[in-house]
Amino acid sequence: MAGFPTNTAVALSNITIVGGAISNFVFNVGRRHAFFNRPLIDWNIILAMEPATILGALLGGYLNKVHITCHTSAWRAANHAQSQRMSLGFSVLLYY
């Protein structure tokens, strides 16, 4: 990515995602749902999802630091392929 090594590109990508998440949160924290009388942000879902998200980020950061660049790239490619295969399988089940 732009000539950066994989480890640096992953870090830059993560900080970009954090910036987008913070701005999205600030923009939506006070908004209400368009059709129902409830907040736009469901805090119970956040409480259920965030522990796993934080654990995954910590584990991913640790593995990124420990493994060499080619292992990180190979794992990311395999993970992406698996995710695409699962999404395609779900789409086929859902629409056919």
pLDDT mean by block of 10 residues, the chain; 96 residues: 78 92 92 89 90 90 80 85 88 80
Q: 52-77 burial, b if ≥16 CB within 10 A, otherwise e?
A: eeeeeeeebeeebeeeeeeebeeeee
Q: Show contacts of 33-41: CB within 8 Å, 24+ apart.
A: none
**Cβ pair 72, 64 in contact under 8 A:** yes
Q: Give me the pLDDT at residue 69, please.
A: 77
Other CB atoms within 10 A of residue 10 CB: 19
Helix boundaries (H) for 1-96:
6-28, 43-66, 69-95
